[in-house]
Amino acid sequence: MSNVGLAEKFNNLTLESEDHWDYRGTNNSERDYVHGFCTYPAMMVPKMQREMLQVCLSEMPIPRSQLLDPFAGSGTILVEGMLQGLDVVGIDINPLAVLLCKVKTTIINVEMLKQHTAQLVTNIEQANNIPDYQFKGIEKWFTAQAISDLSKIRTAITQDENIEIRRFFWATFCEIVRMVSNSRDCTYKLHIKDAKDIKTYDKDAIALFKETLTFNVSKYNEFYSVLKQRGHIKRDGISYKGSVKVILSDCIVYLQHTKKKFDLIFTSPPYGDNHTTVSYGQYSVIPLRWINSKDIDESINENLLDTLYEIDNISLGGMSSNMYITRNKKNIVKKTETLKEQITTITEIAPKQVNKLISFYSDFDSFLSTISKKMKPTSVSVWTLGNRKVAKQEIYMNKIMIELGTRYNLSLLTSFTRKILNKRMPKINAYTGDEKDIQGTMTREHILIFVRSDPVNE
Ligand SMILES: C[S@@+](CC[C@H](N)C(=O)[O-])C[C@H]1O[C@@H](n2cnc3c(N)ncnc32)[C@H](O)[C@@H]1O
């Protein structure tokens, strides 16, 4: 790998046109192949990650590289890695993310998928006297009609004996659960709709499910065909030639225990406050309550779904006990001058928000320390970062990352900024409740590319 060549390629593209990385236009921002299976907060733009991955690979002589996304979310990077024939590893703490990653990366015989889909549709249409499914809070989040329709679909899915196909159906089902729920769809947080909007509920969950399923099967077929065309599927027709690993875990915990090292890391970490910025957990709990969680992963802790907040609490930055904060504050401000200054400012204007910053960046620092030991001396890492606002102050995660990175032998090769055009995130990043603050938040993303400056001492 030539680092100079790599930097030059990225810089040439950045200079090519002012909006090269913005990925405007329907074709550019399209979620092709399996990328659009189910909405997930803060999804990356697949085609942009594809281009960046291709640039990295063009400078990499290794025929089969190990690609890791430690915050895999909906699996964008894993899918892109498979399209390039790489060995991919994805980790996420959120079971919904893990379901999506597994569904998108599992090779299923398309004819078999179509047969099971036809059977599922018949079973739903013939479903009679299906008891309404129950969980805590179901009546708040769904109308009686939605509960009845979703219960029929749910029961029919559980009747399929193939777990990989059930997962495919669950992923489609999760999207429909979100669509017909009483939660407003303009935010990733759970907010109940106005009563008058709930009363006028007219969505047909079964029709939506069938339509979405047909679409997803055709998209899966496209993905499968291109993998096959590129020679990434084995002769048996049901196995990927490389390896795929999807792990439900805190990535720090997993990485501390694995012996693996990675050639490429592509990721977008969370933004820094799960409860008020982009609530991955809250977004996922209601769909997850509808599905058989053991179908996602045998190791799942079902208590995670007891409250709307548990997943966010265990995610990066979710810990805010006084003991944790006191222990970590001194450490983290010693490591990054930018964060130190920002903490001083926030302490003056919004002291209550300070603990969240400390909690997030302490976790992020542990993560960087851990992941740097999992890189090879030639590893490249590509980070897509969003600078959120706290009390109207932009928190410069891009700068903080560079300062922390240098402590762990990560040296910045190049970076650029892009405008976010398609995400729901800018509109909903409410911190103060002030509309202006919401509008002005996270309209840009920072892409940082790092190489190793020298081997880490183990
Ligand atoms: C910005 S999202 C990733 C989105 C993804 N790039 C995509 O295209 O869908 C960040 C992800 O980090 C996950 N996450 C947060 N804390 C984590 C942790 N400690 N370990 C693993 N995953 C974590 C969240 O659940 C979320 O899915």
CA distance linking residue 274 with residue 190, whole number of Å = 13
Residue 441's pLDDT is 52
- Burial degree of 37 (CB within 10 A; 0-12, 13-18, 19+): buried
* CB of residue 71 inside a 6 A radius of ligand 1: yes
Q: Is the beta carbon of 398 within 6 A of some atom in ligand 1?
A: no
Q: What is the per-residue pLDDT for 1?
A: 57
**Contact predicate 272/317, CB 8 Å:** yes
pTM: 0.93
- Residue 317, helix vs strand vs coil: coil
In the DSSP assignment, the letter for residue 273 is: -
Helix (H) or strand (E) holding 444, with range, is: strand 444-452
Residue 76 Cβ inside 6 Å of ligand 1? The answer reads yes
Give yes or no for residue 359 CB within 6 A of ligand 1.
no
Does the beta carbon of 74 sit less than 6 angstroms from any atom of ligand 1?
yes
Mutate to test the pocket of ligand 1, among 34, 43, 71 (most ligand atoms within 8 A of CB): 71
What was the pLDDT predicted at 437?
A: 40
The separation between CA 101 and the C-alpha centre of its own chain, rounded to angstroms, equals: 9
Q: What is the pLDDT of residues 364-388, one digit of tens each?
A: 999 999 999 999 999 999 999 999 8
Which of the 8 DSSP states describes residue 262? E
User: Along the 458 residues of the chain, how does pLDDT read in single tens digits?
Assistant: 578 999 999 999 999 988 899 888 777 778 999 999 999 998 999 999 999 999 999 998 766 789 999 999 999 999 999 999 999 999 999 999 999 999 999 999 999 999 999 999 999 999 999 999 999 889 999 999 999 999 999 999 999 999 999 999 999 999 999 999 987 766 666 777 777 777 677 789 999 999 999 999 999 999 999 999 999 999 999 999 999 999 999 999 999 999 999 999 999 999 877 666 678 888 899 999 999 999 999 999 989 998 888 898 889 888 767 777 877 888 899 999 999 999 999 999 999 889 989 999 999 999 999 999 999 999 999 999 999 888 889 999 999 999 999 999 999 999 999 988 654 443 333 333 343 443 345 688 999 999 998 755 44
319 Rama class: left (phi>0) / alpha (psi -120 to 50) / beta = beta
Which domains, from first to last, does the chain contain?
Answer: 3-108+223-452 (3.40.50.150)
